[in-house]
Amino acid sequence: MEAVAGLLCSGDSVLVPGKDVGSRSRAGVDSGTNTEPDWEDQIRAELESGSKVSQDFNALKLKQQQDELDFNKSKSELQRKSAEAVRQHKALLEKLESVRVKLQLNNSKAMRKNFMSKIQEVTSERNRAQEERDRLSLELAEAQQQLSSLEQEQKEEQHKWDQELSELRSQTERAQNEAREAVCSAQRDERAAVERQRDAANESIETWLNQVNVYLSGLQAELPLRHRQEKTPWENREAEVKQKQAELRSRFTELLQRLDQGQELQSLPQISLPSLKQVPMAELYFHRIMQMTNRPSAPPLSLWPRPLT
């Protein structure tokens, strides 16, 4: 039972007590994982049930050992009494034989009378010893029968406990496997969400950089004066965004590495996207439309730079 509890308690470092894996996955990522919310309570209940089963089994085993000690003690006492009765019986027989020998040597009536008296006394003692021996033998047989019955009952009870412990170990192992699978699935979902966030951030920055390039190219071609005024500020913004883009990639790489090491997404610092200034593409488009209305023949639209959407 201690090995089962150690396996579950050791767990994986990615689990946080009191937090639901499914909730954690929904808070950090948009995933399709559907995990059972009370799997930790189920494991804890299984472990407590296993501990109680193990304690009951140990108490039953101690009681069996005490019963065996009591029986062995009673058995030894009965065997001692039986041996003593046999010894006394043997001594009486020896006395009887001695009296018979003396009777053969002395045929006097007094000796005969004394002999008969002793014969009756010895016979009575022998009968009492025989009755005591029979009684002790009966008690010993009954004690042995009780011990056999107790041993059979203990074997059946132990078999029952072994089956319950085996089933409990199987249930605990299944619960642990399900918990590990749920954690691994949540980790995969968290990593996929971070990768999507990284790709979306990079795509957003690349789109903004392309829009800046299209905007500056359009100003240079159509509004040279305004291009000279806005070129430097926009190029500075572009350089700053590229620097932040490189830093953002590094932070996402570090975040993915820490997720691979087993840390939870909720415990890691959040990554904020850089602020991107709105590119005034509408003004450029408006200027082009005005140019088209003032000119009899406008250049084909396919020659104008278009913003990326």
Name the amino acid, one letter, at 271: I
Q: What is the DSSP string of 28-47?
A: H--------TTHHHHHHHHH
Q: What is the pLDDT of residue 209?
A: 92
Find tokens 């009486």 and name the residue.
92
176 and 207 assigned to the same domain: no
Asked whether residue 282 is domain-assigned, the answer is yes
Q: What is the pLDDT of residue 127?
A: 87
CB 13 within 8 A of CB 262: yes
Domain boundary among 151, 185, 219: 185
Q: Are residues 123 and 61 in the same domain?
A: yes
Same domain as 86, residue 30: yes
166 and 204 housed in the same domain:
no
In this structure, the answer to whether residues 59 and 172 fall within a common structural domain is yes
What pLDDT is attached to residue 111?
A: 65
In a domain, 309, yes or no: no
Both 63 and 202 in a single domain?
no
Asked if 132 and 84 count as a contact pair (C-beta separation under 8 A), the reply is no
Residues 177 and 193 in one domain: no
Q: Examine residue 308 and state whether it is found in any structural domain, yes or no.
A: no
Of 155, 185, 215, the last residue of a domain is 185
Per-residue pLDDT of the chain (309 residues; tens, 9 = 90+): 444 444 444 444 333 334 343 444 343 434 444 456 687 788 888 888 888 888 888 888 888 888 888 888 888 888 888 888 888 888 888 888 887 776 666 666 666 677 778 788 888 888 888 888 888 988 888 888 888 888 888 888 898 889 888 888 888 888 888 887 887 887 788 888 888 888 888 899 999 999 889 888 888 887 888 888 888 999 999 999 999 989 998 988 988 888 888 787 777 777 877 778 888 877 777 766 776 676 544 444 333 444 433
C-alpha distance across the termini of the chain, in Å: 62
Q: What is the DSSP string of 36-104?
A: -TTHHHHHHHHHHHHHHHHHHHHHHHHHHHHHHHHHHHHHHHHHHHHHHHHHHHHHHHHHHHHHHHHHH
Among 7, 12, 11, smallest CA distance to 262 is for 12
- Are 270 and 156 part of one and the same domain? no
Domain boundaries, position 107 = 2-185
Residue 132 lies in a domain: yes
Same domain membership, residue 127 and residue 76: yes
Q: Are residues 209 and 173 in the same domain?
A: no
Q: What pLDDT score does 82 carry? A: 82
Per-residue model confidence (pLDDT) at position 103: 66
**Angle, CA of 244, 25 and 35, to the nearest 5°:** 160
Query: What's the total number of domains in the chain?
Result: 2
> What integer pLDDT is reported at residue 206 of this predicted model?
92
State whether 255 and 149 are in the same domain: no
Decide which of 121, 150, 185 is a domain's last residue.
185
Whole-angstrom CA distances from 232 to 7, 89, 222 are 63, 129, 17
Claim to verify: residue 171 and residue 25 sit in the same structural domain? yes
What is the distance between the alpha carbons of residues 70 and 64, in angstroms, rounded to a whole number?
10
